Amino acid sequence: MHPTLTIKAMKKSLLILAMFIGGAVTAQDNMTSKKGTPILPEAGEWSIGIGANSTLQYFGNLMNGNNNAPSFEWQGTQNVIRGKMMKDANTAYRLGLRLGFGSDKTTAPAPNVGDLKETKNSGMNIDLRAGIEKRRGKGRVQGIYGGEAGINLGSGKTTKTYNGNAAAGEELEVKAGSTFGFGVRGFIGVEYFFAPKMSVGGEFGWGLDISSTGEGETTTADGNGGSTSAKTGKSSSFGFDTDNASGSIILNFYF
C-alpha cells in the first residue's frame, strides 16, 4: 500500500471517530446521566463488544454517494463472541467463545458410470479464551490493560460418492489435519464512555502464538473399485510479536 494513501486513510478514520464522539457526548461533566444513571460500568455488570468500523464509515459517508448500511461485525477475528463481567469498578473478567460445528451435502445427476453423485463436508472449529482486565481513570476516558490466553481446535473432512467405480485418481475422502493453536497476550487500550454504559475504544497487544496442523489423509480411487491412501504433511508455527487483531474501533455495551 502506498504510504500517502495509508496516511490519508488514517486521517479519515480519526476524523470520523472524532465526529462520532463529539456528536454523542453531552455537556455534562458529572458521571451520571440526566436521569441519574451511572456513566461507567459497575460491579456485577456484563458487556459485549462489536466492531464499529462499518458504523463509523456509514456516518462519515452520509454526505457522499459512496455509502453502505452499517452492520454488526465481530470484535477481532475468527468469529469469537467476546464479553466481560465486571468484578468491581476497576476489574473485569474477559471471556471469548466459539463453538463451530457444521456439515453440508451436495448431490448431482450422475447418469454415467464414474460420475460424481454426492459430496459431503464436515468441520469443527472451537475457540476458548479467558483473561483479566484492569482499568484506571476517573472520568469518561478509561485506560484498560491486562492479559488473556486462548486455545483453538479445528478439523475437517470431505467424502465423495460416485456412480459405480470412480476413475483412477479421483478423490474419495480428504481428511484435513487436526489443528491446534495456543496464544497468550498482554494488551493495553482505552474506552471512552460517550453515554451511560456505552463506550467506544480499542486495544493493541503483544504476546505468544503457537499453532500446529497434524497429518491429514487423502484417499483416491484406483479405477478398479479399490483405493489408495496418502498422508499429507504436518506444519507448525511460532510467533512472539505485537498484534492489532483487536485494534479495530469497538463499541462496548454494558448491562
What integer is the mean pLDDT of 226-249? Answer: 85
- Domain locations along the chain: 3-254
**What tens digit of pLDDT does each residue of 120-131 get?**
999 999 999 999
Element (H, E) at 156: strand 141-162
Q: What are 35's three cell numbers?
A: 436521569
Contact status, residue 207 vs residue 183, Cβ threshold 8 Å: yes
Asked whether the predicted pLDDT for residue 246 surpasses 80, the reply is: no
Rounded CA gap, 189 and 108, in Å?
Answer: 52
Q: How confident is the model at residue 113 (pLDDT cuts 50, 70, 90)?
A: very high
Q: Which residues on adjacent β-strands are paired with residue 212?
A: 180, 236
**What tens digit of pLDDT does each residue of 12-69 get?**
554 555 555 554 444 345 688 888 899 999 999 999 988 755 544 544 454 455 545 4
**What tens digit of pLDDT does each residue of 65-81 get?**
554 544 444 445 567 88
Q: Can you give the pLDDT at residue 16?
A: 54
Amino acid sitting at position 238: F
In CATH terms, the fold of domain 3-254 is Porin (2.40.160)
Rounded CA gap, 14 and 52, in Å?
Answer: 13
Mean pLDDT of the chain: 83
**What tens digit of pLDDT does each residue of 76-103 get?**
556 788 899 999 999 999 999 999 999 9
What is the pTM assigned to this prediction?
Answer: 0.74
**What tens digit of pLDDT does each residue of 168-184 get?**
999 999 999 999 999 99
Asked whether the predicted pLDDT for residue 162 surpasses 80, the reply is: yes
